[in-house]
Amino acid sequence: MRVDLRLYAIVDPETSGGHDLADLARRLAAGGAMLVQLRDKLSETRVMITRARAIKAALGAVPLLINDRVDVALAAGCDGVHVGQQDMAAEDVRRLLGPGAIIGLSIKTAAQAAAAPLDLIDYAGIGGVYGTTSKQNTSKPIGPAGLKRIVEELHRRSPGFPTCGIAGINASNAAEVIAAGADGISVISALSLAPDPQAAARGMRKIVDAALVKRSRA
C-alpha cells in the first residue's frame, strides 16, 4: 500500500500538551496530517484500545497506526502498526494484520536498511535525525547526512521506497529532512505542544510541500 508520509503526526499521552488525544488527532488531521500514530508506552491494554478507537473515529479517512502493539491495532480496527527493530518481526506482523495493513519499520543504520524486508513493509521511519526529548533514545542523531545514506540504500534496493525522517523535527529543520531525500516528516512535540496544533500542522505541511517541489526541480 502506498502511504502518504508528508506529515506523519504521532500522538502520545506523555506529550499531549494537555489535549485529549482524539481531539488532538482530529485537529492535526484538519491541519494537514496525512497519517497519525498512537504511541503509548504506559497505559494498560484496555485503556489503549479504548483510546485508539476514539482516535480512529475522530480521524475519519486519515489512517491510524499503533506503535508496537499489534494486538491493540487488531482490537481497535486500526489501519496498521509501526514497529522497531526489537519489536515483532515484520513477517509476523504481516501474517497477523494481512495484506491491506500499513506496516512501518524504524531504521537507524545503513546496515538495517540493507537487511529490511521491503516486500513486507510499506515505509521506513528513519532516525533519530535530530536530538529529541519525546522519547528515550540512546543512539546519536544521524543528521541529514545519515538520513541521506539510509534513503539511498533503501532506494538502491527498491527505487522510490517511501521514507520519513523521525525525531527532533520542527519548522526550522523540516525542509532539510526533505532535501536529504525523505518523503515526509514524523513529528510529535512541534505539533502537540504548539499553542495551536492545527495551525502548527498547517505550517509544517506548507514547508514539506514546498521542499518536495523544490527537490523535484533540482
Residues noted as catalytic: 39, 106, 135
- The DSSP code sequence of 130-165 is S--SSS---SPP-HHHHHHHHHHHHHHHSTT--EEE
Cell 513493509 sits on residue: 121
DSSP H helices in the chain: 21-31, 45-59, 70-76, 90-97, 110-115, 143-157, 174-179, 189-192, 197-217
Give the bridge partners for 106, in sequence order.
125
Three-class SS of residue 72?
A: helix
Cα–Cα dist 43/32, whole Å: 28
